[in-house]
Structure 1
């Protein structure tokens, strides 16, 4: 093959995103984070960005935070700005599904391209240190007596801690539509409400409450995982058959080709193998939950249907 023909062929493959990682120049990745700085999606997006650069599959990563409506505002901007862009990524997860179900925004995930699930972070339920309750059994007893008297504090309506509270009620024989859930716009607001005793029980990812648990300002009473986290008992071992993870993943832009989708997926999977990503998992108490391709797309569809069914029963929809 003539050299000029070869170069043209390589250029065409590069443009299509079909070259193997080793043969392509590192990309300039644009990361949409559909949340305000400092929360779980922001931490995930920036940790992934660093890992992409450490894996030498991204030359640079720029971040765009667009919070609001459980991620729907960021999703709308991503749909409009990332069409056909092979280097665009958007952080998303279980909370976005809940937001789409409750908020019914004009955009949805079918308009963008599923790439991979990255992690799952399980929720911990905590009591303020001065609470009259000591255990989840105490909370459940009060819930059965007077559902409205137990104020559950956590993230936005439709968040995993909101759904977990509804599932707990359902499993212990309480009408889930009667739970008194107080939604906060961010982890800082929820933390302040718990520490101030303004809610009965609070829920969030373990990493958000870790320092307060360690200092004794919050008492952990249950985790939503299958196994104990930091020796906190699971809901299941306390006789409440509930397990739910706040998983997070990434999507690509609308209208990218199959070859570009594969190239973007390969980049993300390469990032998962870096030392910096492993350090992020440990630091943030994230459980690795890597899934890609058709398996991930099916998982999102199934999760959407399951969450919707729970939320309808709970009166959230």
Structure 2
């Protein structure tokens, strides 16, 4: 009888639905980690009965969102991970399918970016890297996420702050964090830029050296200066979120918002945040929809100013 009660109740049963979450990137990166962490936390918290994760990589998530919007329209059991990277990728790729076409559900996390070099790199400090960029921005190679995403924007803004032309940076985009990390570890690039969590294990293993983090404050327990402390007055963080397909009813949208909110407030998710070094940035429903619109305007202005989007 105890099991029968929730199954007979409408809203409770909807929260125990079988969900599918698309990570519109290759395995190993931030979106993939977010999707798989949600998978674990949703089941552990009882927010969903089962959760299946799929990966659709390419072009900063613009391939994934196109597939999501056209293939999942009206399906209340589908979610897709998104974030700041996709906002920029849609603009730089002139993607035909945009975030205006999805149903906003919730922003979940924020994460500081980090700049890392191989441990044997001659660049010991952020000042060393800034000097190299100023001397010849094209000679400094960067590994990071998709073109136009937060990694690319941060690299361009760093170059600008260092006194170089941001349009001349040599940025090499990768579709997954794992591939970018391999390029940095292999010494194939000058520096890597990504979420701190994607570098953390290799930093602790003594294979990478962090030069700076992009947040306004240092990461607790990590002896790495902020960009501002290193003489580059810049703060930028990466946020990640989940959206649903178009064509949902208000009731279906509310059920998904409630389901994600239940997960986000659960002990299982709080443990994920702690382990990954992600900051809780929960924002749901209409407030998140407004935030998305503001981010699109802000990012368009930044990308134009650094030459990644033509005016």
Offset, 1:192? 2.6
Do residues 249 (structure 1) and 241 (structure 2) align?
Answer: yes
TM-score (norm 1): 0.89
Aligned residues: 301
Offset, 1:24? 5.0
Distance 1:266 1:116 in 2: 10
Residues 17-56 of structure 1: pairs in structure 2 closer than 5 A: 19=11, 21=12, 24=14, 26-56=16-46
Partner of 1:123: 113
Do residues 200 (structure 1) and 187 (structure 2) align?
Answer: no
Partner of 1:308: 300
Partner of 1:165: 155
Distance 1:224 1:313 in 2: 19
Distance 2:175 2:257 in 1: 31
Cα 1:94–1:169 shift into 2, 3 Å? same
Distance 1:297 1:282 in 2: 26
Cα 1:57–1:133 shift into 2, 3 Å? closer
Offset, 1:186? 2.6
Alpha carbons 1:177, 1:314 under 8 Å: kept: yes
For the pair shown, the structure with the greater C-alpha radius of gyration is 1
Distance 2:184 2:127 in 1: 19
Give the superposed CA RMSD: 1.9
Cα 1:93–1:152 shift into 2, 3 Å? same
* Aligned partner of 1:153 among 131, 138, 143: 143
Alpha carbons 1:125, 1:221 under 8 Å: kept: yes
Do residues 240 (structure 1) and 232 (structure 2) align?
Answer: yes
Partner of 2:127: 137
Cα 1:212–1:25 shift into 2, 3 Å? closer
Distance 1:143 1:24 in 2: 53
Distance 1:144 1:255 in 2: 49
Please list the CA deviations of residues 25-60 of structure 1 after superposition, one character each: whole Å capped at 9, or x if unmatched: 621112122122222111111211222222223111
Alpha carbons 2:74, 2:247 under 8 Å: kept: yes
Partner of 1:8: none
Alpha carbons 1:177, 1:313 under 8 Å: kept: no
Alpha carbons 1:225, 1:243 under 8 Å: kept: yes
Residues 54-203 of structure 1: pairs in structure 2 closer than 5 A: 54-203=44-193
Alpha carbons 2:156, 2:167 under 8 Å: kept: yes
Distance 1:170 1:97 in 2: 21
Alpha carbons 1:72, 1:107 under 8 Å: kept: yes
Offset, 1:212? 1.7
Please list the CA deviations of residues 166-220 of structure 1 after superposition, one character each: whole Å capped at 9, or x if unmatched: 1112223322112121222332332232223222121111122112211222110
Offset, 1:280? 1.2
Distance 1:25 1:180 in 2: 46
Q: SS of 2:109's equivalent?
A: strand
Flag structure 1 segments of 5+ consecutive residues without an equivalent.
Answer: 1-10
Partner of 1:264: 256
Offset, 1:103? 1.0
Q: SS of 1:106's equivalent?
A: coil
